[in-house]
Amino acid sequence: MPVDAHAQGLLDALKAQGLKSFEQMTITEARGAIETFVGLQAPREEVKQVHDLTVKGPAGELQYRVFVPAAPTPMPVIVYFHGGGWVGGSLAVVDEPCRAIANRCGAVVIAASYRLSPEARFPAATEDAYAAVQWASANAATYGGDANRLGVMGDSAGANLAAVVSMMARDRKGPAIKAQILTYPVIQRDGDFASRKANGEGYLLTSAGVAWFWKQYLASDADAVNPYASPIMAKDLTGLPPALVLTAEFDPARDEGEAYGKALAKAGVPVTVRRFDGLIHGVFWMSGAVPRGAELQQAIVQFVSKQIN
């Protein structure tokens, strides 16, 4: 099907404004561009409580934002990792979608910051993300959460971290993760994926932009085959939590996300893969500009209800 009319309108407007592709930006420019997604979002929903916390991480202080909905306790807990190519993104840019997920799922949502590249390259972000899951498991009850119903979630590079943390928790014997929700995940630096060519230009995130983000994130080519960076490279995908993989038709990362879903299924992991025709990368942050982004939320609510609610 063609690009969704609202998404196309947004793409046309951004082009008219002269928005550069990420690979043409400086780090500072890229971070600023990512933050502008807040302006594409619907008005923020009210939740019962929001707690802004400073927590000691593996290499310094990290910021967490805990969203507590008005729902029966104990609630499932979802740790959310923002996207932004490991270079940008923030708790602010995912505040609106985290509120919506908390309310619709009846779950405590913990948005966790992590060290950004290139100042802190791989594996800094993965270790920070794993520490966030440990913290959530230990502190869930304080916010009405049930540590025995713990899920992880992320979009784009954040979905990569959610996939990797699921693997780390398996390898390190905990915490037990009951579900992983991967929204248009970036899964592998290298790979001959048709969508990288077919959707390489013209849909906000370019294939060259994806390569640029990987260049900022990894310190060496050897890191590119490390499964904690490229989870599809893992020799063993068994024993991972049930997964929901959401992809968008006009996204250079579409095929790698779907390939990861197939790899998980082959390893015996329960997987639901859903492609949203007509949509583009980043739509989860565009609730005000692209109403069909609500379809992704609905898929997440259904999955959470089945797996951890």
Task: Show pLDDT as tens, one digit a residue, over the chain (309 residues).
Answer: 899 999 999 999 999 999 999 999 999 999 999 999 999 999 999 999 999 999 999 999 999 999 999 999 999 999 999 999 999 999 999 999 999 999 999 999 999 999 999 999 999 999 999 999 999 999 999 999 999 999 999 999 999 999 999 999 999 999 999 999 999 999 999 999 999 999 999 999 999 999 999 999 999 999 999 999 999 999 999 999 999 999 999 999 999 999 999 999 999 999 999 999 999 999 999 999 999 999 999 999 999 999 998
Domain limits, the chain: 5-307
pTM: 0.98
- CATH number of the structural domain 5-307: 3.40.50.1820
d(CA 177, CA 165): 9
Active centre residues (catalytic)? 156, 251, 281
H-only helix segments in the chain = 5-16, 27-35, 95-105, 124-139, 157-171, 194-198, 207-217, 254-266, 294-307
